[in-house]
Amino acid sequence: MKSLHHDRLMTPGPTPVPEAARLMLARDLRHHRTTEFREIFRQTMEGLKKVFCTKNEIALLCGSGTSAMEACVVNAVPRGGKALVLYSGKFAERWAKLCERFGIFPILYEVPWGRAFDPAVVRDYLERNPDIQAVYATLSETSTGVGHDIAGIGRVVAETDALFVVDGISGVGGMECRTDDWQIDLLAVGSQKALMTPPGLAFVAVSDKAWKKRDAMTVPPPAFYLDLQAYRKSAQTNDTPYTPPRSLVAALLESLNLLNEIGIEEVWRQTSRLARAVRAAVTAMGLTLFAERPCDVLTLIQMPESIDVKRLLSDLETRFGVKIAGAQGDLKGKAIRIAHMGMIDELDLIGCVAALEQLLIEQGWELTPGAGLTAMQRELLR
Amino acid sequence: MKSLHHDRLMTPGPTPVPEAARLMLARDLRHHRTTEFREIFRQTMEGLKKVFCTKNEIALLCGSGTSAMEACVVNAVPRGGKALVLYSGKFAERWAKLCERFGIFPILYEVPWGRAFDPAVVRDYLERNPDIQAVYATLSETSTGVGHDIAGIGRVVAETDALFVVDGISGVGGMECRTDDWQIDLLAVGSQKALMTPPGLAFVAVSDKAWKKRDAMTVPPPAFYLDLQAYRKSAQTNDTPYTPPRSLVAALLESLNLLNEIGIEEVWRQTSRLARAVRAAVTAMGLTLFAERPCDVLTLIQMPESIDVKRLLSDLETRFGVKIAGAQGDLKGKAIRIAHMGMIDELDLIGCVAALEQLLIEQGWELTPGAGLTAMQRELLR
């Protein structure tokens, strides 16, 4: 049955783009080697630093989040080097795959999907392997919904010569991430998550410790496009080494301005409140939260065996306009993921829970109508 | 406190415009005296006739709904003539004011705001005043939330020589209105309500009976721009007599296509379901419905005296992005109006009720969190 409804993008990337940013995308195209663009670039860098909580230089890449991750590997550890990978989830796996591709030996500290890493264990690994050159971690693991203890792990890594490298792609801009305070040496971020910009831009914030390692490399890294030195050099004149996606940068600046107008700490607080409300709804609906240490930007919900998850996702989309994500790996077909970051707001999430309630009841799940919504309202009213 | 949220337009006009229509507005401007525009015009007329349930010719005006109402007065009754105005609410008043301005004598059949007209009483008026040349009625009275018995009144008027004139501005396209079956001679409609197009276009559907009256006028009507004969003549070549707002017409065609793809009767059914759900929520929140015969496109809710309605409306907008309407006349500051038509969908309304619950509780209203939402879910799950 066709019906009139809005589409609601509630996936952990891409996320909805604010109107001010979308309008920038609709503008006539302008050239990028201009004073005007250099000013946009300068303001964008300023805005990114506030959001990332860093004074470090930031490389602005035209690429997906994975391009930023690759830059964090090839610019940090030379071929033959050793890295510790905190291994639990699809995106942690990507760090390991990247290491392998570039001849870096990954030592895996593995915990089951849904569990979090213990900084004390990271210390053990580092003590037993003093030749580890970098530790690869994930702020919010999008495939499990876990938010890892980056502050705690950062303290441990900072005691060593190893670089602390964090995939903050889905978390930064939505949940607490204090790049400098947490001593993150390389932070990878993407545009299409909490930064509320279409996919196409990626960022790497680089600490002095990381620049020193990069500059000390005697063999050039297996990278030309992703060689961070080129980005540092161009950034000195507020420019990029290769053609930047100009419209996306202009859109990003609008989204950054929105975040910084509110203040990034206030944004974290609001995201965290929404995350708690969604978790309250999940429990009240008799469903199971997967992450032992849930992140604030998305919630992974395990579904009862009786529920046809594929049908649920399709009904959500076609009947309610709600696009959320399924799950990956072993969780595929058994779980769903709701994002709560960026422009995805309180009423979007209430609507999503309402639609879920209706569809779960329709699929025979024992649930009092309004149970999830009521729990959510109580949490929001605290 | 600033926060990230979408804006949600939930007023009884303007209403949100679907993406396909908005994209038409963003296109480069084209000229209107072209084969291309004539084809757009032709399809638009076809689409309007389906939505209005009529075979009658339709005049497409560049103007607000009031321009269509004025056309329905000056083209129907000559100066010195007599008209019956079904008088209850701000928009019924407008019929009376228009009559007065053009030297037409309005006989008022008045009922208190919130009440509906009785076709039997209309018959009485017509029998006692056989010189009444037109009966002015309102499909959905936006200021009271009443949906009047247009079918019943139409049957009564059709027995006489009087024209049956209906203000369908806020209702047509959202709630049942069978122009031909209900024997409506002049139907006024606006673009910015259930037709999901920005303000700027208005329509008058004209029956043969109405054309006969117009053509028989020996003194030209006090109208040049709003002389319906000019529109009829131009429409024969799929054109307008004066410059049409071309972008708006192209946008309207997209919105009409959406409505007609679903089918207008199905749209009515869906709107009606949403209206019932909102009414269930209102009652469950301990609030009062105003209309004795509620229309399907909006709900007027009387607020308890303890509630600061101005603050409520402002909090809804600034904290939740929800823009609904206050009330008019004696109800000003004492009631709110939520629209449920066009692109305003199930989850928008659930979100609106959630926000209302939170703000009412904040203002001290005794209300169990989730009470309105639960009632709404139960109604939607029927």
Q: Please write the tens of the pLDDT for every residue from A202-256.
A: 999 999 999 999 999 999 999 999 999 999 999 999 999 999 999 999 999 999 9
Taking contacts as CB-CB distances below 8 angstroms, the residues of chain B near A347 are 5-6, 8, 320-322, 348, 351-352, 354-355
Q: What is the average pLDDT across A259-265? A: 98
User: Is the confidence at residue B315, as pLDDT, over 80?
Assistant: yes
pLDDT band at B121 (very low <50, low <70, confident <90, very high): very high
Identify the DSSP state of B172.
B
> What is the overall mean pLDDT for chain B?
97
Interchain contact B28–A (C-beta under 8 A)? no
User: Is the confidence at residue A31, as pLDDT, over 80?
Assistant: yes
Smallest CA–CA separation between B119 and chain A, in Å?
33
Q: A132-173, pLDDT tens digit by residue? A: 999 999 999 999 999 999 999 999 999 999 999 999 999 999
Nearest to B320 among A6, A346, A355 (CB): A346
pLDDT band at B71 (very low <50, low <70, confident <90, very high): very high
Residues 6+ apart with CB under 8 A from B212: none
Report the candidate in B216, B199, B212 with the shortest Cα–Cα distance to residue B9: B199
Interchain contact A357–B (C-beta under 8 A)? yes
Residue B130 token pair = 């056989």
> What is the overall mean pLDDT for chain A?
97
Pairwise CB contact (< 8 Å): B6 & A26: no
Pairwise CB contact (< 8 Å): B6 & A270: no
Residue B216 token pair = 């028989």
Interchain contact B351–A (C-beta under 8 A)? yes
Residue B168 token pair = 């369908």
Nearest CA in chain B to A368: B374
The residues that bridge with A138 in the sheet, in sequence order, are A167
Q: Where are the beta strands (DSSP E) in B73-207?
A: 82-87, 105-110, 132-138, 140-141, 146-147, 163-167, 186-190, 201-206
User: Is the confidence at residue A327, as pLDDT, over 90?
Assistant: yes
Interchain contact A342–B (C-beta under 8 A)? yes
User: CB atoms < 10 A from the CB of A3, how many?
Assistant: 16
Gyration radius of chain B over CA positions = 21
At B110 the pLDDT is 98
Q: B22-44, pLDDT tens digit by residue? A: 999 999 999 999 999 999 999 99
Rounded to whole angstroms, the Cα distance separating A91 from A97 reads 10
At B182 the pLDDT is 98
Rounded to whole angstroms, the Cα distance separating B182 from B269 reads 18
At B372 the pLDDT is 98
pLDDT band at A3 (very low <50, low <70, confident <90, very high): confident
At B373 the pLDDT is 98
- Polymer length in residues for chain B: 382
Nearest to A4 among B342, B357, B361 (CB): B342
Q: B317-359, pLDDT tens digit by residue? A: 999 999 999 999 999 999 999 999 999 999 999 999 999 999 9
Residues 6+ apart with CB under 8 A from A295: A139, A140, A141, A145, A146, A147, A171, A175, A275
Smallest CA–CA separation between A178 and chain B, in Å?
21
pLDDT band at B2 (very low <50, low <70, confident <90, very high): confident
Nearest to A355 among B321, B347, B378 (CB): B347
At B3 the pLDDT is 86
At B146 the pLDDT is 98
At B293 the pLDDT is 98
Q: A278-308, pLDDT tens digit by residue? A: 999 999 999 999 999 999 999 999 999 999 9
Interchain contact A382–B (C-beta under 8 A)? no
Q: B185-209, pLDDT tens digit by residue? A: 999 999 999 999 999 999 999 999 9
Strand, coil or helix: what is A315? helix
Nearest CA in chain B to A261: B2
At B300 the pLDDT is 98
User: Is the bond preceding A294 in cis, omega lying within 30 degrees of 0?
Assistant: no
pLDDT band at A357 (very low <50, low <70, confident <90, very high): very high
Rounded to whole angstroms, the Cα distance separating A146 from A153 reads 15
Chain B residues 180-209 within an 8 A CB cutoff of chain A = 196
Interchain contact A258–B (C-beta under 8 A)? yes
Give the distance from CA A36 to its chain's centroid: 30
Burial B97-122 (b: 16+ CB within 10 A, else e): ebbeebebbbbbbebebbbbbebeeb
User: Is the bond preceding B14 in cis, omega lying within 30 degrees of 0?
Assistant: yes
What is the ipTM, given to two decimal places? 0.93
Pairwise CB contact (< 8 Å): B346 & A270: no
Nearest to B377 among A5, A259, A358 (CB): A358
At A341 the pLDDT is 97
Taking contacts as CB-CB distances below 8 angstroms, the residues of chain A near B369 are 374, 377-378, 381
User: Is the confidence at residue A1, as pLDDT, over 80?
Assistant: no
Residue A279 token pair = 């978790």
Smallest CA–CA separation between B371 and chain A, in Å?
8
Nearest CA in chain B to A6: B343
Strand, coil or helix: what is B250? helix
Taking contacts as CB-CB distances below 8 angstroms, the residues of chain A near B8 are 347
Report the candidate in B294, B360, B369, B289 with the shortest Cα–Cα distance to residue B331: B289
β-pairing, A325-326 vs A335-339, is: antiparallel
Taking contacts as CB-CB distances below 8 angstroms, the residues of chain A near B361 are 381
